Amino acid sequence: MHKNGSVTYECGYCDYSYTSSLFKGRVGGFGWPETKSFPCWLVQNEHWNGWACPSFSFASAKAMLKYIVQKNDELGYTSDWKYDKKTDTFAYDNNDEKDAFQALPEEYVGHDINTPLGAKHVYDIGSHCWCWELR
C-alpha cells in the first residue's frame, strides 16, 4: 500500500504488475434490499468472482453485522457474531452447523490501510468470500 492510498499488485509468475486506487463506496449483500448498504473502502478493480471486496470501519462493521444477525434471526438461523477487543477481531462460531465446511469459524482481524483521507483502521469482513454488491 502506497502512502497516497494506491495499491500495487504484482504477479508471482511473470513481470506483470498494476497499480489501483482505494475509494469510498457502499456495498450490500446479494439479495438484500437495494436500500440496505454500508459504507466501506474498496480497491478499484479488485473483485472476487465478480463480487466487491470491502473493508469496513469499526462502526460500519458493527452496523452491518447487527443487520445480518437481525435478518438471520427472522429466518430462524443462529447468528452469533462477537467482537474481541483484546485481539481486535470480529468472529462468528458456526459450531451448530451440520456441514463441515459451514462449521468453520470466521474471524476478521482489524488492520490499518492508507487511504486518500489518511490512515484508516478496517475489517475485511466477508471480503474475498461473501457476495457483496456495489451500491
According to the model, what pLDDT value does residue 23 have? 84
pLDDT tens per residue across span 54-68:
999 999 999 999 998
Residue 3 placed within a domain: no
Residue 17 placed within a domain: no
Q: What is the mean pLDDT of residues 35-62?
A: 91
63: containing domain: 23-129
Residue 2 placed within a domain: no
Residue 1 placed within a domain: no
What secondary structure letter does DSSP report for 80?
A: -
Rounded Cα distance between 68 and 80, Å, is: 10
Beta bridge partners of residue 84, listed in sequence order: 89
Pick from 111, 113, 110, 115: which is nearest to 21 by CA? 115
Q: What's the structural domain count of the chain?
A: 1
Rounded Cα distance between 54 and 27, Å, is: 7
Beta bridge partners of residue 43, listed in sequence order: 22
pLDDT tens per residue across span 7-34:
555 555 656 554 557 789 999 998 888 8
Rounded Cα distance between 117 and 121, Å, is: 12
pLDDT tens per residue across span 83-112:
999 999 999 866 555 554 455 568 899 999
